[in-house]
Amino acid sequence: MFTLTPEVRFAIDAARQASLLVREIQAEMVTPALTKSDRSPVTVADFASQALVAGLLAEAFPNDPLVGEEGAEALRTPQEAATLAQISAFVARKRPDATPERICDWIDRGAAGAAQRFWTLDPIDGTKGFLRGDQYAIAFALIVDGQVQIGVLGCPNLRDGYLPDQDGPGSLLVAVRGEGTWLTPLDAPETFTQLHVSQRTNPAEARLLRSFESGHTNVSQIDVFAERLGITAEAVRMDSQAKYAVLAAGGGEIYLRLLSPKMPDYREKIWDQAAGSLVIEEAGGTVTDLHGKRLDFSQGRTLANNRGICATNTLLHPAALQALRDM
């Protein structure tokens, strides 16, 4: 198994606590009566998750910066007092010392820039999946010298790392550079099982991991990509970096993030890719940008030197990149 360094222990504990807290918020706030325009559950969960992890980080590694998705500026206004009170009540379940002021201070730790050593957090990846009562992930990673060293994905609605199960034990995936990717139940992280990507080599049999949402990718171009590879297998549709877990566990072979025609200059945020990329790589997969370049996490809060994402089981990576070049 992997070496349980203080950093690895902390990453597992923080991601697990945040995942369990967010699962509670989803169960209590995402109801059939929720209207599509009501994003309050994901707002509360997003901020609560980041506050919890940032507070734990401040105690465990007080000198380590955190690059997080959220900031607390809006929460400090009188208009958001009720939302802040909800967030504080949820975080207090895990941290009795949580106060509204501390919550905001913890959240704002995520405004740091990249450094020689820092952590990055996506407090909820897959917000629309969360609001549907479906798949989402908590993604937490340690980056040193521009390279991801530890990546943890908490997937509360996945069983065995790849099976959707809203009433199951959840999945916690842990990747440590050079030591593999490992899976344990989110509810009881005791025994760890090593994960490996699938060994499919025929592009026609490749299972594409596709999102329900189309915000940052190009859906029509993914269809063209599938045609060029002659893919006949049914796609696996899922929100969030839970797709990275599925690929690492052998439940799919290819995942793409193509540039949306509406956002041609978009660059990936590091918290959207850091944990998931290491989870795939340490399971034997390959993650590059659309041109085959390794992801560069040394450029601040975005992957400024990369365009899009191509993740595969390695065996199909050359064919995937060739299809992208042909397009």
Q: Read off the amino acid at residue 37.
A: S
- What residue ranges do the domains of the chain occupy? 6-194, 203-326
Q: What is the pLDDT of residues 261-315, one digit of tens each?
A: 888 889 999 999 999 999 999 999 999 999 999 999 999 999 999 999 999 999 9
Residues catalogued as catalytic: 46, 127
Topology of the domain comprising 203-326: D-Maltodextrin-Binding Protein; domain 2 (3.40.190)
Sign of the alpha-carbon dihedral angle for 31, 35, 39, 44: negative
Q: What is the pLDDT of residue 36?
A: 75
What distance in Å separates the CA atoms of residue 247 and residue 242, rounded to the nearest whole number?
Answer: 9
The pLDDT assigned to 188 comes to: 82
Higher-scoring residue by pLDDT: 259, 44: 44
What's the rounded mean pLDDT across residues 214-239?
85
Looking only at the bridges linking them, the beta strands covering 171-176 and 181-185 are antiparallel
Average predicted confidence (pLDDT) for the chain: 94
φ/ψ of residue 203, rounded to 5: -55, -35
Cα of 124 vs its chain's centroid, Å: 7
User: What average pLDDT does the segment 199-212 reach?
Assistant: 94
- The string of pLDDT tens digits covering residues 103-155 is 999 999 999 988 999 999 999 999 999 999 899 999 999 999 999 999 999 99
Question: What is the distance between the alpha carbons of residues 121 and 254, in angstroms, rounded to a whole number?
Answer: 24
CA angle (74 as vertex; 130, 58 as ends), nearest 5: 75
Specify the pLDDT at position 217.
59
- pLDDT at position 299 is 93
Distance CA 24, CA 116 (A): 35
The pLDDT value given to residue 263: 85
What's residue 173's pLDDT? Answer: 98
pLDDT in tens, 209-222: 998 765 555 668 89
What Rg value do the Cα atoms of the chain yield, rounded?
19
How far is the C-alpha of 69 from the C-alpha of 107, rounded, in Å? 9
Secondary structure string (H, E, C) spanning the chain: CCCCCHHHHHHHHHHHHHHHHHHHHHHHHCCCCCCCCCCHHHHHHHHHHHHHHHHHHHHHCCCCCEEECCCCCHHHCHHHHHHHHHHHHHHCCCCCCCCHHHHHHHHHCCECCCCCEEEEEEEEECHHHHHCCCCCEEEEEEEECCEEEEEEEEECCEECCCEECCCCCCEEEEEECCCCEEEEECCCCCCCEECCCCCCCCHHHCCEEECCCCCCCCHHHHHHHHHHHCCCCCCEECCCCHHHHHHHCCCCCEEEECCCCCCCCCCCEHHHCHHHHHHHHHCCCEEECCCCCECCCCCCCECCCCCCEEEECCCCHHHHHHHHHHC
Confidence of residue 170 (pLDDT cuts 50, 70, 90): very high
Q: What is the CATH number of domain 6-194?
A: 3.30.540.10
Rounded to an integer, the average pLDDT of 12-38 is 92
Model pLDDT for residues 55-94, shown as the tens digit of each residue? 999 999 999 999 999 999 999 999 999 999 999 999 999 9
